[in-house]
A and B are shown apart, each in its own frame.
Chain A
């Protein structure tokens, strides 16, 4: 079946424009040489990667109207304005982003208010369950990694596993609370020494230090630091770290000059040594704030979307590097549900179902402390090891267009599109 994608200006162009002609685009990779938006959308790139048949149409009838809001914050007035205008203009439309995840309380508010609006963000759907008919989370980040027009990707076809000197790399560039917490645990346990870590301080021009301290306070207290002396001590350490720590940069970063002076959302490249000098990648994933609860058996379950998967985990996997992720709870389970194999032959992943983020990072820290570099190196060097097989398997899932992963993604997306057309 061929889907019809509606356009109101021209094919491949977004159905909304920037508020101001000269402002930076909210869509990644949408700019001319002067940084000005050309009103590009990327929905067709997603259809292409999934191998779904589509055509462009300027008739709304039987077409899917995608309004791409990119990285416009869903809490903002601008977002609400776009939804309102879209709701008034079209019979039904999909407010869509392939870049960002949204939170349930905002999603519910929008869907309650606008009956003809469908929301589709970059989140991971809950296995076999859809909380709201008009909310259709989809892990677009996986698609973006394989889309040539969406970003420039630099993947090493084969790593040399004979040059490992350090246990792990952990790239914490761009300040986020979970990255800061992760670094705090690593530093406090002196695991930053002799390993490859990057870090970027919060942007002092945008956030006052008091506010950063407040966020750390809230994060730790939210996960029970008031009832736990160790966590309280860690919170104090984490707060102190804010004023003492400096940026850690990667040596010899890759640049595409003059277009992309460093890695960003449209240029994904890391120097080879990041993977070849370290035995594994400790990934600090983004936390999207998926909503979850406990059932009557005290088992946790996700309501709207499950643990968030981004390029942070996918990139080491595509490059053939073992990985362990500090993400939302059941992150590794989410990866398995898409056909990836987790490295439980190297790491005790029992922390994965732990719902308390601080307990999770504590346990990860212990794993890293205890892991034997020689053991991991041996596994990497021996090409018949389980680790090697998993690396091959995961690359196959990502790169083979008929793998379980791509079949599953296509099936899910087709189901969504059919449901939207029937609404």
Chain B
């Protein structure tokens, strides 16, 4: 592919729209003197993918990426930015490398603005297929881990595999409904790991943060109403008021004593989990983010079972799963349906030698969490301890494989991501 031209209207690396317009880009920081950096990260993404590009202030032949960051796609500011792009450019890409968007909203935008493309951080469909040629989901959170300028990433290269004191870690800071579901189940399940056991929260390394806005209504629903467990739904409701914050012990802090970023611990551009989290537990039970990818479940006559077909994008992959993998820790994720299968399609090796993955295709997110927790609570920890300790085990081979897939710049993953982005940009240029 020839060199891509990336359009700028102010200067290279600056976003076409600014914070005043509503753009909320992680690196677009307000400096101590009040100035706004107006940074866009698209150059960093192209660099990480190894795509040849140059900046251009000439619209002809170049691509205007309008980075809205975390601006909600339901907001009026988002709409106004689209309106601006629609009127000022022959064609443009509305971009977020930080957030996934939902299909029902996107469809409206795609219908309203026929010269706009939408590129969010959802996972692309298999073989970079597209349900709509102007929607281009791309797993940008993966690329951020390959970019030093996008974030500070801390990897512990020397975690130990023989001093575990707890079964698993499950970090659920910042309230979300899916985290609340998982926490409620863990809290209401007596641990089988020890004989003097309390519940799975007490016995493991679990964090939780209460909901900030206690007054907004939440509805927890089963996919199939006939399967509703009313007692459990009440526990979910009660938990909203009863559960207390649980924080991680021994956090690591980044201190810049200018006060500019004092006492920073884990945030969107500083990715660190303290080493003891991995040393002290056998595996990471990840509560992934849910992006609301749409799917159908169809009967596969060959497999003689249901298969999941994704419509707009595949399950969302974030730092929550990537960080344990980078640190060489076994992982299993409570995520969108078919998450582990998607990871496999991308070249990752899942830990099916440790865990029964049959929960992964349950389309009810509450039942999926319940099956997962039941499975985790009935694991043979002697087997897991042996697997994790032995560097020749299947588990350790998979750990090495997954680290290599993310860290090796010529791995199958990076080649697929490069291919997908080039395909998208070609579609844009040919439009």
Contacts and interface: CB of A to CB of B under 8 A. Distances in A.
B157 A48 contact: no
A255 interface: yes
Contacts of A148: 145, 153, 155, 326, 407
B35 A158 contact: no
A19 to B, nearest CB: 19
Interface string A277-311: 00000000000000000000000000000000000
Main secondary structure on A side of the interface with B: loop
A47 B408 CA distance: 7
Contacts of B275: 33
Contacts of A10: 391
Interface string A25-50: 00001111100001010001101111
A12 B391 CA distance: 10
Contacts, number: 132
A149 B155 contact: yes
B19 interface: no
B349 interface: no
Contact of A402 (B33, B51, B154, B255): B51
B168 interface: no
Size category of the A interface is 35 or more
A271 B39 contact: no
A165 interface: no
Interface in B33-55: 33, 35, 37, 39, 41, 44, 46-52, 55
A383 B8 CA distance: 11
B197 interface: no
B253 interface: yes
B151 to A, nearest CB: 10
Contacts of A153: 148, 152
Contacts of A38: 158, 160
B327 to A, nearest CB: 9
Main secondary structure on B side of the interface with A: loop
Interface stretch (A51-59, A97-105, A230-238, A357-365): A51-59
**Centre residue among B49, B160, B408 by max chain A CB count within 10 A:** B408
Contacts of A256: 154, 252-255
Contacts of A155: 148-149
A147 B49 CA distance: 15
Given A400-B46, A400-B50, A401-B48, A48 B407 contact: yes
B257 A48 contact: no
A408 B408 CA distance: 17
A252 B391 contact: no
B12 A383 contact: yes
B96 interface: no
A212 interface: no
B148 A399 contact: yes
Given A11-B391, A402-B50, A259 B252 contact: yes
Interface of A: 10-12, 29-33, 38, 40, 44-45, 47-53, 56, 146-150, 152-158, 160, 162-163, 252-259, 271-273, 318, 383, 388, 392, 396, 399-402, 406
